[in-house]
Structure 1
Amino acid sequence: MRITFKKLTECTIQDAIMAWNKGFEDYFVKMEMTPELFFNRLENEGLSLTHSFVAFDQEEPVAIVLNGFRVIKGKKTAWNGGTGIAVNYRGKGVSRLIMEEALKIYSEEGSEVATLEAIKENERAIRLYERFGYQITDSLVYLSGFPEVKEISILAKSIRPEQLSAFPFYNENVAWQCQWQSVKSGEAQIYFDKDRNPLGYSLFKRVWNQEGQLEKVFLFQFELFCEVTEESIQAVFASISEGERNPVCFITINASLSNPVIQYLMDHGFKKTTEQVQMVKKL
């Protein structure tokens, strides 16, 4: 076995897709990629072709690591947006080699922090990351539910996701995929009381069916600064739903279990579909 690395800019799309699909073929959730899905992921999540790479054994692509960089709270932050190793190459030292290569790239880019998420049940991967200095900092959940949406009015202002960062209450410290930079094609709302004091905000994407009915809402951020009550939750859901009469599925994406809104949803019928750990390494 002789492992070498190539940047994604140096690989064919066939090699990159093969490395990804081999690396995730037995994963906890379905991760199979087509070229279209792969490039959409790179674009939507701000991943770097120059700093992501494929590992080869001779001419065979056997592993892949996707990387992205952002400045978060004033610190250049690296994100591991996907690490996959072909089944036949696990337990043979490839994981150590690709982690060393990734951390070398982060260092060369002047990153101060490295982050990633891992499926909670993926104990093998979590142990690997811990060996390289990552620590678990949070638990993240995907929740799904069909809440009864009552017509409760709330003063809401719709803005572009890009505008959220201008508000002092915007939370930068969320999972990479939930930051406004990863949801540019989505929508955002800020909620106010009658005195125009901010009550909270949401960052989301809405999906309509072929009949033009709102079908799903993906919630990337949902923060309330007021007391989390049935009325406050219903008011936000009503604002996002815009009077849709048919049941709408609300899905949280990588939401922190420490968020009181998430605890409320779990206590009121939302089902957990996936749980991840957020891991951070100081460089």
Structure 2
Amino acid sequence: MQTNIEIHSLTNVDIKDLSALYNLSYQNYYVSINLTEEQFQKKLIMEDIDLEFSVGATIDGKLIGFLLYGIRMYGDKKTAYVGGTGVCPEKRGNKITQQMLDFSFPKLKNEGVDEIFLEVNTKNDFAINAYEACGFEKTRVLNSYKGVPVLVVNPLHEIVAFDDLSLITGENFWDIKPTWKNEIQSIKNIIDNCQINGIYEDRILVAYKIINKNNTRIYQFGVHHDYRNRYLASILFSDLKNKEIKMINVDDREVSTNDFIQSLGLELYDKQYEMKKIL
């Protein structure tokens, strides 16, 4: 094992170096990731990544590992979210990720963080075992889809833009709480990049979707509990016909949602575990 590894906060890290290491760490991952520096910075903003609480590993002044933490209230608990972790390929196998995690736990607990969430590919047994060894437990399975919608419907309702996110509540629309990346706070953080539209009946918002205008990723969509089984979701997606779209972190337990997404013609391309550790 390397003996000259320095574990430290990422407060003073060069974003360009961090962005490059992020891409290097994920270049041969199950789903390849390659973000521009601008896209990487937007990720940090969207996920509330706090570099003071994020962790780096350095050898001889060179950044060789990172652990990104977002911190916010998630429900009623102060929560940390792992927005990415990686080690440059030639330094793997030295338990650097575990060292970074162990370094972070006391500091997060001191900050009043109650729990930590992360996501990991279901095929990544090495990482899953490492996280379990650090006290994380699997909480749910998350599906990711992509493709071009092929479902054709005759829109019987007008799809209109709106900007009042307070209309979107768990009481009205959600069966299961969205994950960190799809949560309303994440959307608020990058609201200028989002298009929000919906369907109204009698001045009541009965269906909505939130999409990234730049990459057509769907963050959320939903139909009001009292207006389901009326093809409103199909109508809601009618304006995306012939457009490549992507949805990530769809809870596997939401059977009707997953069935609907597949009925659109989208393909399942990735599965992840959400894992949680209580501090």
Q: Which whole-Å CA distance do the structure 2 matches of 1:267 and 1:190 have between them?
A: 20
Q: Which whole-Å CA distance do the structure 1 matches of 2:111 and 2:167 have between them?
A: 27
Matches for 1:200-211 after TM superposition, within 5 Å? 200-207=207-214
Q: CA deviation at 1:70?
A: 1.3
Q: CA deviation at 1:229?
A: 4.8
- 1:19–1:54 CA contact under 8 A, matched in 2: no
- 2:64–2:91 CA contact under 8 A, matched in 1: yes
Instruction: Sort the Cα spacing of 1:178 and 1:36 in 2 relative to 1 into closer, same or farther, 3 A.
Output: same
1:187 aligns with 2:195: yes
Q: Deviations over 1:68-120 (max 9, x none)?
A: 11112111111000000122222222122011123233212211121111122
- TM-score by length of structure 2 reads 0.83
More deviation, 44-53/114-123:
44-53
> Amino acid of the residue matched to residue 212 of structure 2?
K
What is the aligned partner in structure 2 of residue 211 from structure 1?
A: none
> Amino acid of the residue matched to residue 210 of structure 2?
L
Q: Deviations over 1:203-229 (max 9, x none)?
A: 22245xxxxxxxx74221122325765
Q: CA deviation at 1:60?
A: 2.3
Q: CA deviation at 1:18?
A: 4.2
Instruction: Sort the Cα spacing of 1:16 and 1:197 in 2 relative to 1 into closer, same or farther, 3 A.
Output: closer
- 2:206–2:227 CA contact under 8 A, matched in 1: no
1:272 aligns with 2:268: yes
The residue matched to 2:57 in structure 1 has which SS?
Answer: strand
Give the unaligned 5+ runs of structure 2: none
What is the aligned partner in structure 2 of residue 115 from structure 1?
A: 117
Q: Deviations over 1:175-213 (max 9, x none)?
A: 11111222223133454555x565443222245xxxxxx
From 31, 34, 38, the equivalent of 2:33 is 31
- 1:164–1:180 CA contact under 8 A, matched in 2: no
From 236, 241, 250, the equivalent of 2:245 is 250
Q: CA deviation at 1:149?
A: 3.4
More deviation, 176-185/18-27:
18-27
- TM-score by length of structure 1 reads 0.82
- 2:85–2:97 CA contact under 8 A, matched in 1: no
Q: Deviations over 1:121-174 (max 9, x none)?
A: 212111111112212122112212322332222366643274356674364821
Q: Which whole-Å CA distance do the structure 2 matches of 1:227 and 1:123 have between them?
A: 42
Q: Which whole-Å CA distance do the structure 1 matches of 2:226 and 2:261 have between them?
A: 16
From 94, 101, 104, the equivalent of 1:92 is 94
Q: Deviations over 1:1-31 (max 9, x none)?
A: 2221333322223432343234323222222
> Amino acid of the residue matched to residue 203 of structure 1?
I
1:154 aligns with 2:163: no
Give the unaligned 5+ runs of structure 1: 208-215
- 2:151–2:264 CA contact under 8 A, matched in 1: no
> Amino acid of the residue matched to residue 138 of structure 1?
R
- 1:18–1:61 CA contact under 8 A, matched in 2: no
Q: How many residues align?
A: 269
CA RMSD of aligned residues (A): 2.8
Instruction: Sort the Cα spacing of 1:74 and 1:190 in 2 relative to 1 into closer, same or farther, 3 A.
Output: farther
What is the aligned partner in structure 2 of residue 222 from structure 1?
A: 221
The residue matched to 2:231 in structure 1 has which SS?
Answer: helix
The residue matched to 1:10 in structure 2 has which SS?
Answer: coil
Instruction: Sort the Cα spacing of 1:235 and 1:85 in 2 relative to 1 into closer, same or farther, 3 A.
Output: same
Q: Which whole-Å CA distance do the structure 2 matches of 1:144 and 1:17 have between them?
A: 25
- 1:53–1:66 CA contact under 8 A, matched in 2: yes
Q: Deviations over 1:257-281 (max 9, x none)?
A: 2222222222553211222111122
> Amino acid of the residue matched to residue 14 of structure 2?
T
